[in-house]
Amino acid sequence: MHSIAHRDSLYRRTAELARVEAGEAVYAYCSSCHSPQGVTSGLIPKTPEARLPEVVKAGVVCDSCHQVTALTGAKGPWGEPGNASLQLRPDADLKHGPPTGDDDAADHEVEGHDFYQRSEFCGSCHTVIHPLNGVRLEHTYDEWKKSPYAAKGIQCQDCHMRTVAQAREVAATMKPIPLKGKSSPEGEDRPIGHHFFAGGNASADLLGGGKRHAEMATERLRSAASLALELPPRATAARPLRLQVIVSNIGAGHSLPTSLTELREMWVDLKVTSANGRLVFHSGALDENGDIDPRAMRFGAKGGDKHGKLTYKPWEVTRFLWKRLIPAKGSARDEFIVPLPAQLTGPLTVTARLLYRPCPPALTKALFGDEPVELRTVEMARVTEKVVLRSAGAHD
């Protein structure tokens, strides 16, 4: 079993900043999902960060899930899973899991609960609602609930507790893949789930170990979307070339991007070049600060504070200034008009790349100061096509 470690991670830096700027209550609120054992034990928020035990700093570990005895979201203030709507009961000798987990070979007693096999369990932390103003900061569970996956009875666990290849098959066939295996060498075969929980964190190894997790996350991102171009068969120099870029969500049971969408960045880098390699058009380039071309085809959100200014700090968000996501099995389409110079040689090469990164460089610089972590940008998809070019003045 793999713990989901956050030690010395982006989260820990963010938590420290939240503690200073927003106070102990907000710090504890965030930690309820990121370090439930710290909150349950009372160490958070009472203990200074430097004095927290390693097990608390480790973030989400095995017992964070396997000591959950009930889901409380339906009876909570929002009437749905979210904001750590879990009842956690620490017990060294009793663990909790799905009804299939009662294995005589286990070194501890096991109590089974149906909710471990439902998306509501995941939604208990993968819905984040601002506790003061009600803004939905993270809505992965709601995105799933409205998706074709939910309609087919496919749960979060059917993709995120499977290998990347299995998750890809689930998305393609829209059918869950049952797994059987042993929980211990002496145990009997029974239904199980892989505990990789790979999502989009392709920089996991940079933030706290986890090279294999980073590799799986990169694979997941590369199987989540497809990219297509719609082009005329030919273009004419000195006339504009009109083309369309289509991005489709083919492999995620939620929107792309998901999670804290005001931090996630997904965009299309589009280039048109001539026969001699001349760059004719470029959309989606990064500037000297690493910021994305504002005219690019992009997806995500922009959080706004109470003054309507852009903010990357979740505790400051009171509204969204902009949001564009691609729902599960949905597509997005943008048109581009490319001016073509009169003196241009063909054919033209059109290349589009779909790129993803977890947050803008400005955020990592703010959190890590003089030693910023350069998080990976993953190429999720790529497509290249040729367009015949006729000389200026040629007739159709």
Mean pLDDT, residues 32-48 taken together: 91
Mean pLDDT, residues 31-60 taken together: 89
CA angle 270, 276, 277 (to 5 degrees): 30
CB 336 within 8 A of CB 352: no
Asked if omega into 178 is within 30° of 0 (cis), the reply is: no
- H or E segment to which residue 382 belongs: strand 378-390
Residues whose CB falls within 8 Å of the CB of residue 157, separated by 6 or more in sequence, listed in order:
117, 119, 122, 193
> Torsion over CA of 106, 109, 115 and 118, rounded to 10 degrees?
-10
Supply the pLDDT for residue 313: 93
Mean pLDDT, residues 83-102 taken together: 87
Mean pLDDT, residues 271-300 taken together: 96
CATH, domain range 222-390: 2.60.40.10
User: 3-state class of 127 per DSSP?
Assistant: strand
Q: For residue 215, is pLDDT > 70? A: yes
Q: Which residue has the higher pLDDT, 12 or 165?
A: 165
Taking the C-alpha atoms of residue 147 and residue 215, their distance in angstroms, rounded to an integer, is: 27
Give φ, ψ of 383 to 5 degrees: -145, 140
H helices within 178-248, ranges in order? Answer: 204-208, 211-222
Q: What is the DSSP letter of 91?
A: -
Q: How many CB atoms lie within 10 A of CB 363?
A: 18
For the chain, the structural domain boundaries read: 4-217, 222-390
Taking the C-alpha atoms of residue 108 and residue 92, their distance in angstroms, rounded to an integer, is: 8
Please state whether beta strands 109-112 and 279-283 pair in parallel, antiparallel, or not at all (unpaired): unpaired
Read off the pLDDT band of 395 (50, 70, 90): low
Question: pLDDT tens digit string along 218-241?
Answer: 999 999 999 999 999 999 999 999
User: 3-state class of 302 per DSSP?
Assistant: strand
- H or E segment to which residue 82 belongs: none
Q: For residue 3, is pLDDT > 50? A: no
Supply the pLDDT for residue 7: 38
Among candidates 218, 219, 271, which has minimal Cα distance to 245? 271
Read off the pLDDT band of 358 (50, 70, 90): very high
- Bridge partners of residue 115, in order along the sequence: none
- Compute the mean pLDDT over every residue in the chain, rounded to the nearest whole number: 91
Taking the C-alpha atoms of residue 200 and residue 299, their distance in angstroms, rounded to an integer, is: 15
Supply the pLDDT for residue 101: 64
Percentage above 70 pLDDT, the chain: 94
Question: pLDDT tens digit string along 98-143?
Answer: 988 666 667 788 899 999 999 999 999 999 999 889 999 999 999 9
- Bridge partners of residue 319, in order along the sequence: 304
Supply the pLDDT for residue 5: 43
Supply the pLDDT for residue 102: 60
Supply the pLDDT for residue 291: 95
Q: For residue 8, is pLDDT > 50? A: no
Please state whether beta strands 378-390 and 234-236 pair in parallel, antiparallel, or not at all (unpaired): parallel
Supply the pLDDT for residue 208: 67
The pTM of this model reads: 0.93
* Residue written as token pair 């928020």: 45
CB 202 within 8 A of CB 213: no
CA distances for 79 relative to 20, 73, 82, 150, angstroms: 30, 6, 9, 19
Q: For residue 369, is pLDDT > 90? A: no
Supply the pLDDT for residue 18: 87
Read off the pLDDT band of 276 (50, 70, 90): very high
Q: Which residue has the higher pLDDT, 287 or 210?
A: 287
Q: For residue 294, is pLDDT > 60? A: yes
Supply the pLDDT for residue 393: 67
CB 36 within 8 A of CB 88: yes
- Bridge partners of residue 129, in order along the sequence: 136
Read off the pLDDT band of 58 (50, 70, 90): confident
Mean pLDDT, residues 317-336 taken together: 98
Q: For residue 161, is pLDDT > 70? A: yes
